[in-house]
Amino acid sequence: MASQSTVTEDAHSGARREFFTLFPSIMLPMFLAVVDQTIVATALPAIAESFGDVERISWVVISYLVAATIAAPVYGRLGDALGRRRLMFIAIAIFMVASLVCAASVNLMMLVAGRVLQGFGGGGLMTLSQALVGEAVPPRARARFQGYLASVAVTSSMFGPVAGGFLTQYFGWPSIFLVNIPVGFAAIALVTRVKSRPTGARAGRFDAGGLGLFAAFVASFLIMLEQAQKLDAALLPSILTLIAVTVLAAIVLVWRELRAPDPLFPVHVFRNPSIWRCDLLASCHGAVLVSLITYLPIYLRVTRDASAGEIGVFLLPMMACVGIGSMTTGQIVSRTGRAAIMPSVGLMVVAFGMAVLGFAADHMTNLQLSLALAVTSLFIGTVMGVVQVTVQTAAGPAMLGTAAASVQFSRSLGAAFGAATIGAILFAVLTILDPQATAIFAKLFEPTGDPLTGVSKDAIAMVQGDIRFAFNVCFLTISAIAAGASALAWSIPMRRI
């Protein structure tokens, strides 16, 4: 008994030593990946005011997520075959170059193009960081150390809204991208300390055809959602064409991956019910969190006249609570081994919290709204750590990178789908209630002059009511997604790790 205890203690000590040797080197890449979403979300109203075209402003977020979705399985597959340390350098370099492109953008299309490139880099940062931890630390210990990874999420999530608000208000929105450059150089310096390890997977032929089909599926699906939000009959042929392309790309992708000798998405991995259900859960989590942080700043700007700095302070407790929830979940899972129960219960609370906002947000003070979002966000944090550990454990060492990538691309795809869907619902509800409401809502973000010149006060008051109602519908939609995710979490077969 004493000998067994000594072996357990030695194993724990070895895992701890391995993790803390690695942790400083993956900390900054993870910081860049997490902070980029929250710091950009705070600046969205300012970007809309600079370029106009508020109907497409969500593409500043969605374009990044689309590219990250496409890139994640590539990094996972190549990381398994070629080594994750080498690919981390490439991902950071792409991310930094793209940040310069974003900062230099002169119109929305250039900014979106820069964000696509940034997503190709950012898609590897979280995927490779999680996979590096997975190859160094045993499964049960990973749950404990997810708390430390969550501390990075806490710090970056807290830094993002405040820094984004401050930089946008005093130095302009391009500064939120320029701040990535010095951090990126520091990240490269730290990654040089990471040990190269054998990956346990052979280097096969890269599945470029699978990647092309996957890119076609993701891009056509999200462009279809963007066009559908306009409720314009003239766009119906285009929408139907995009639906056909989406379905065809999905069918051919599945057919190819079943037959490819070295598939981008190894089908045998995704046949495991714990893995595919966790990936679906990651998609729902991405849809809930990213759609919320994308449209909440716009809601605060339009309905509560909040400045960029005020929006940042408003989001601070919300993003901090996501990280705190993740840290707490990691500790509980590590001590008890019970994993799936955490998101199962947590997402039920999220669904209830978002439903409350959908019915009562208009009657809340700023403090009450901030507290409600903070409590809801605490339980949003119960998901991703559990999903990562469960998928990595179920996949095994040889498929570690592919498994980590599957979670990341699922989350990114869900986030892009969620942001696009919520945007489509927002503008569809406004158009149904009053076509003038959509025009006035867009005018609120005109880059020059008084946006509401020539609009009567009665019309403005009526439209503000319509806008509030449309956002309430969006909150209720997010609640429905969270409820579905909770049901999915209850169905995960691997309840313990």
Q: Which of 246, 261, 276 is the last residue of a domain?
A: 261
Interval 29-64: pLDDT, tens = 888 887 887 788 778 888 888 887 666 777 887 788
Task: Tell me if the pTM is above 0.85.
Answer: no
Residue 443's pLDDT band, with cuts at 50, 70 and 90, is: low
Q: Evaluate whether residue 347 is within a structural domain.
A: yes
In this predicted structure, the answer to whether residue 5 has a pLDDT above a threshold of 60 is: no
Give the pLDDT confidence score for residue 22 in this predicted structure: 75
Residue type, 49: E
Residue 346 lies in a domain: yes
Within-domain flag for 496: no
Same domain, residue pair 211 and 347? no
Residue 201 carries which DSSP code?
S
Residue 336 to residues 8, 333, 384, 396, 399, Cα–Cα distance (Å):
16, 5, 17, 21, 26
Look at residue 482 and tell me if it is in a domain: yes
Distance between CA 231 and CA 56 in Å, rounded? 15
Nearest to 97 by CA among 115, 76, 73: 115
Using 50, 70 and 90 to split pLDDT, how confident is the model at 197?
A: low
- The answer to whether residue 14 scores a pLDDT higher than 70 is no
Residue 454's Cβ-count burial label (10 Å; 0-12, 13-18, 19+) is exposed
Question: Tens of pLDDT along 343-372?
Answer: 999 999 999 999 999 999 888 988 899 899
H helix count then E strand count, the chain: 18, 0
Please say which residue of 245, 261, 277 terminates a domain: 261
Portion of the chain with pLDDT greater than 90, in percent: 17
406 contacts 266 by C-beta, under 8 angstroms: no
The sign of the torsion formed by the CA atoms of 80, 86, 91, 94 equals negative
| Buried b or exposed e, range 269-294, using 16+ CB within 10 angstroms | bbebebbbbbbbbbbbbbbbbbbbbb
Among the listed ranges 105-114, 174-183, 437-446, 466-475, which one has the minimum average pLDDT value?
437-446
Residue 417 predicted with pLDDT over 70? yes
Banded model confidence at residue 7, pLDDT cuts 50, 70, 90:
very low
User: Is residue 337 left, alpha or beta, with left meaning phi > 0 and alpha meaning psi from -120 to 50?
Assistant: left
Residue 280 has pLDDT above 80, yes or no: yes
Asked if 229 and 87 sit in the same domain, the reply is no
pLDDT at 411 over 60: yes
Same domain, 368 and 411: yes
Q: How confident is the model at residue 157 (pLDDT cuts 50, 70, 90)?
A: low
Phi, psi angle pair for 123, to nearest 5°: -60, -25
pLDDT band (50, 70, 90) for residue 150:
low
With bands split at pLDDT 50, 70 and 90, how would you rate the model's confidence at 99?
Answer: very high
Lowest-confidence pick of 85-99, 279-293, 411-425, 483-497: 411-425
Listed ranges 15-19, 124-128, 171-175, 447-451; the one with the highest mean pLDDT: 171-175
Number of folded domains that form the chain: 2
Q: Mean of the pLDDT values across residues 194-205? A: 61
Q: What are the residues facing 494 on neighbouring strands?
A: none
How far is residue 19's CA from residue 4's CA, in Å, rounded to a whole number?
A: 23
pLDDT tens per residue, range 475-488:
999 999 999 999 99
Highest mean pLDDT among 75-89, 317-331, 479-493: 479-493
Same domain assignment for residues 125 and 240: no
Using CA atoms, how far residue 157 sits from 34, 284, 318, in Å, is 7, 20, 9
Q: How confident is the model at residue 15 (pLDDT cuts 50, 70, 90)?
A: low
- 71 CB contacts (<8 Å, ≥6 apart)? 119, 120, 121, 122, 123, 124
Give the pLDDT band (50/70/90) at residue 102. very high
305: left (phi over 0), alpha (psi -120 to 50) or beta: left
Of the ranges 8-22, 128-142, 168-182, 186-200, which one carries the lowest mean pLDDT score? 8-22
Q: Are 224 and 162 in contact (CB under 8 A)?
A: no
- Is 313 inside any structural domain? yes
Q: Are residues 389 and 252 in the same domain?
A: no
Which residues share a beta bridge with 496?
338
CB burial readout 398-413, b (16+ within 10 A) else e = ebbbbbbbbbbbbbbb
Predicted pLDDT of residue 492: 87
What integer pLDDT is reported at residue 87 of this predicted model? 87
The candidate with the shortest Cα–Cα distance to 225, out of 413, 468, 489, is 413
Q: How confident is the model at residue 448 (pLDDT cuts 50, 70, 90)?
A: very low
214 in the same domain as 295: no
Q: What is the DSSP letter of 90?
A: H
Give the CATH number, domain containing residue 440: 1.20.1250.20
Residue 431 or 444, more confident: 431
Residue with tokens 């998405």: 265
| Structure token pair of residue 35 | 């902070």
The type of residue at 483 is: A
Measured in degrees and rounded to the nearest 5, phi and psi for residue 338 equal -85, 115
| pLDDT for 454 | 52
Residues 170 and 224 both lie in one domain: no
Concatenated DSSP letters of 190-222: HHTTSPP---SS------HHHHHHHHHHHHHHH
Does one domain contain both 137 and 226? no
Domain shared by 331 and 464, yes or no: yes
Q: What's the gap between Cα 325 and its chain centre?
A: 16
Kindly state whether residues 147 and 230 are assigned to the same domain.
Answer: no
| DSSP state at residue 454 | T
Does any domain span residue 415?
A: yes
Residues 276 and 163 in one domain: yes
For residue 338, the cross-strand partners are: 496
| Residue 12 banded pLDDT, cuts 50, 70, 90 | low
Q: What percent of the chain has pLDDT above 70?
A: 82
361: in domain: yes
Between these two residues, 315 and 347, which has the higher pLDDT value?
347
| Most confident region among 66-75, 288-297, 315-324 by mean pLDDT | 288-297
240 and 385 belong to one structural domain: no
State pLDDT tens for residues 368-405. Answer: 998 999 899 899 988 888 888 888 788 777 676 677 77
**Which structural domain, as residue segments, surrounds residue 225?**
207-261
- Does residue 146 carry a pLDDT above 90? no
Q: What does pLDDT average to over the chain?
A: 80
State which of 261, 288, 307 marks the end of a domain. Answer: 261
Q: Are 277 and 491 in contact (CB under 8 A)?
A: yes
Instruction: Give Cβ neighbours of residue 199 (< 8 Å, ≥ 6 apart).
Output: 79, 80, 81, 82, 83, 84, 135, 401
Average pLDDT score over residue span 278-297? 87
Longest dimension (CA), the chain: 83
| CA dihedral sign of residues 284, 59, 292, 224 | negative
Instruction: For residue 260, give the 3-state DSSP assignment.
Output: coil
